[in-house]
């Protein structure tokens, strides 16, 4: 059994668009898109972790909202368990500290991005959720 690495990702929505971040050069899966976030540290809830990670990675404050989906993906180094939550920007504009780029996409554009494998099931669930809401 491989080790489980529990991470969180932010589905940031604004004006009908979804934010995605492109992994930077020198990182594993460089150039692939992901929902920004990171590892849950001991003693943190997923929501606390997500707010902290976004402060560190994108220099923004967010309000963490509803759970979107969970994805488990087996990489060579272990299984990444990604829990994704809807987030709302409270203050700041995303700054690139670790990522190559940040983009805002329509729900229809999401499927055309080259996503990190753990994020793909979240994209599928998000598309269902947004189409059910008429977005």
pLDDT in tens, the chain (135 residues): 679 999 999 999 999 899 999 999 888 899 999 999 999 999 999 999 999 999 999 999 999 999 999 999 999 989 999 999 999 999 999 999 999 999 999 999 999 999 999 999 999 999 988 888 776
> Taking a C-beta distance cutoff of 8 angstroms, is the pair 82, 44 a contact?
no
Cα(38)–Cα(53) distance, integer angstroms: 6
CB 58 within 8 A of CB 77: no
Pick 4-134's CATH classification: 3.90.79.10, 3.30.830.10, 1.10.1530.10, 3.40.190.80. Answer: 3.90.79.10
Give pTM, 2 decimals: 0.93
| pLDDT score at 130 | 86
């Amino acid at each position: 059994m491989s080790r489980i690495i529990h991470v969180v990702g932010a589905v940031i929505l604004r004006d009908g668009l979804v934010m995605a971040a492109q992994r930077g050069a020198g990182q594993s899966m460089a150039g692939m898109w992901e929902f920004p976030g990171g590892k849950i540290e001991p003693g943190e809830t997923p929501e606390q972790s997500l707010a902290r990670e976004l402060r560190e990675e994108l220099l923004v404050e967010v309000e963490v909202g509803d759970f979107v989906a969970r994805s488990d993906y087996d990489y060579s180094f272990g299984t990444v368990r990604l829990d994704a939550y809807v987030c709302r920007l409270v203050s700041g504009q995303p700054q690139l500290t670790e990522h190559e780029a940040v983009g805002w996409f329509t729900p229809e554009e999401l499927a055309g991005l080259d996503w990190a494998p753990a994020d793909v099931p979240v994209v599928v669930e998000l598309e269902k959720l947004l189409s059910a809401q008429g977005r």
